[in-house]
């Protein structure tokens, strides 16, 4: 069987990429019209609708595979340019302890819950990473160090998107009953909500909370590379005993993410470039999430994925509860 030429392979991407572009534009347009609906949520939902209704065409698969891998990894790299280390340092010991404690307890606790529910270690690990760090970006970063498959990835991203969307609605309603002022609420949101866009949407609903929410959230994102390295190190030890392939300690795109953080820290990058990179990162992430959404068959997930859904909801309660306790005990905000 002849292998298609590179030109033919590129042409095969065009129909699917047009669909990805249209869905991305629609998702961003919906967010502009209804800010409570983040573009990431809309993108995943659009992809799932196409898959679940049978409207997705097999000819689009090369393009969605490209978007779900290459575009998502590029978005992870550009995310590094959004992390201002000086603001993270300004959080102080209490804020840093809040971030470290929430991430560690959520990461370990979610994997324990996954084992108790009888889920595979790979899926439990992806869910734990997404809920403890930064949603889809973290799931994409840690996946090369696991034996997770496409279904594990799509399901984990669906769960983190669902629960992050619920947080936009639920957390602001709980602020007054919990007696949180704007700064405390911002710290709670930043420490517990998953995707950066979801944090912005949630924090923006309470005047004065957004700045704190974003800084705390970006502090969590800084833990992405160390967490990926720890997972890869554990996997390398297991692979050494089993004689299987050992993953890289840091995938190339995660190393590029670290480099982007360092470049931002120099203060040499013009503000206009940083703003442009942020917009590009947002668009690429939305496109990748739509592509990943096309792997979600909702009826199948509801029939066979009840334990996964239970894990997502329990992990959401865990991260919110731990973050709230941290805000109270450490006096953050």
Instruction: Look up residue 199 and give its two tokens.
Output: 């944090």
Coil vs helix vs strand at 105: helix
Are 175 and 206 in contact, with CB atoms under 8 Å apart?
yes
Phi and psi, residue 107, nearest 5°: -65, -50
Give long-range contacts, CB 8 A cutoff, 24+ apart: 6-12: 9/62, 12/59, 12/62
Q: How far is it, in rounded angstroms, from Cα 141 to Cα 249?
A: 11
Give the tokens for residue 33: 């019209």
CA distance 247 to 220: 24
Measure the CA–CA gap between 233 and 153, rounded to whole angstroms. 20
Q: What is the pLDDT, as a whole number, of residue 1?
A: 43
Distance CA 209, CA 204 (A): 7
The answer to whether the CB of 64 falls within 8 A of the CB of 288 is no
Tell me the CA distances in angstroms from 38 to 22, 200, 299, 333, one per residue in order: 16, 9, 23, 25
pLDDT value of residue 244: 61
- Please report the sign of the dihedral spanned by the C-alpha atoms of residue 203, residue 100, residue 226, residue 194: negative
Cα–Cα distance for residue pair 166/160, rounded to 1 Å: 10
* Cα(270)–Cα(263) distance, integer angstroms: 11
333 residues of the chain, pLDDT tens digit each? 445 666 666 677 888 999 999 999 999 999 999 887 889 889 999 999 999 999 999 999 999 999 988 998 999 999 999 888 888 878 889 999 999 999 999 999 999 999 999 999 999 999 999 999 988 889 988 988 888 888 899 899 999 988 988 999 899 999 999 999 999 999 999 999 988 888 988 998 899 999 899 999 989 998 999 999 998 888 887 766 665 667 777 888 889 999 999 999 999 999 999 999 999 999 999 999 999 899 888 888 888 789 999 999 999 999 999 999 999 998 876
Residue 90 C-beta-side C-alpha neighbours within 13 Å? 11
Q: What's the rounded Cα separation, in Å, for the pair 39 and 25?
A: 9
Phi, psi (5° rounding) for residue 260?
-65, -40
For residue range 290-311, what is the model confidence (pLDDT) as tens digits? 998 998 888 888 887 899 999 9
**Domain ranges in the chain?**
13-330
Residues in the chain: 333
Give, for 144, the enclosing helix (H) or strand (E): none
| pTM (2 d.p.) | 0.86
Query: What pLDDT, on a 0 to 100 scale, did the predictor assign at position 319?
Result: 97
Tell me the per-residue pLDDT of 35-75, one tens digit each, with 9 for 90 and over.
878 898 899 999 999 999 999 999 999 999 999 889 989 99
d(CA 281, CA 75): 5
**Rg of the chain taking only CA atoms, in angstroms:** 19
Residue pLDDT, tens place only, 67-99: 988 998 999 999 999 888 888 878 889 999 999
Q: Are 272 and 81 in contact (CB under 8 A)?
A: no
Residue 94 in tokens = 């209490």
How much is the pLDDT for 2?
46
For residue 122, count other CB atoms closer than 10 A to its CB. Answer: 17
């Amino acid at each position: 069987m002849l292998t298609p030429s590179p030109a033919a392979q590129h042409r095969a991407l065009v129909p699917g990429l047009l669909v990805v572009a249209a869905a991305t534009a629609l998702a961003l347009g919906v967010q502009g019209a209804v800010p409570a609906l983040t573009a990431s949520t809309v993108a995943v939902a659009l992809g799932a609708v196409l898959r679940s209704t049978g409207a997705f065409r097999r000819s689009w698969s090369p393009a969605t595979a490209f978007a779900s891998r290459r575009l998502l990894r590029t978005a992870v790299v550009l995310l590094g340019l959004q992390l201002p280390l000086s603001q993270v340092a300004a959080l102080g010991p209490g804020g840093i302890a809040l971030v470290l404690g929430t991430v560690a307890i959520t990461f370990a606790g979610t994997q324990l819950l996954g084992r108790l529910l009888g889920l595979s270690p790979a899926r439990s690990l992806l869910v734990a990473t997404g809920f403890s760090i930064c949603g889809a970006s973290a799931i994409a970063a840690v996946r090369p160090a696991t034996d997770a498959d496409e279904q594990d990835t799509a399901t984990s991203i669906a769960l983190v998107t669902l629960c992050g969307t619920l947080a936009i609605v639920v957390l602001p309603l709980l602020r007054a009953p919990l007696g949180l002022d704007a700064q405390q609420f911002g710290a709670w949101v930043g420490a517990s909500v998953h995707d950066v866009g979801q944090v912005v949407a949630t924090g923006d609903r309470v005047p004065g909370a957004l700045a704190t929410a974003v800084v705390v959230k970006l502090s969590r994102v800084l833990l992405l590379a160390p967490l990926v390295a720890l997972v890869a190190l554990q996997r390398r030890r297991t692979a050494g005993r089993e004689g299987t392939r050992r993953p890289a300690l840091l995938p190339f795109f995660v190393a590029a993410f670290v480099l982007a953080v360092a470049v931002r820290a120099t203060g040499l990058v013009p503000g206009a470039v940083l703003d442009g990179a942020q917009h590009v990162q947002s668009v690429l992430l939305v496109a990748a999430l739509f592509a990943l959404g096309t792997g979600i068959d909702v009826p199948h997930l509801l029939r066979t994925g009840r334990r996964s859904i239970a894990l997502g909801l329990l992990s959401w309660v865990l991260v919110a509860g731990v973050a709230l306790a941290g805000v109270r005990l450490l006096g953050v905000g």
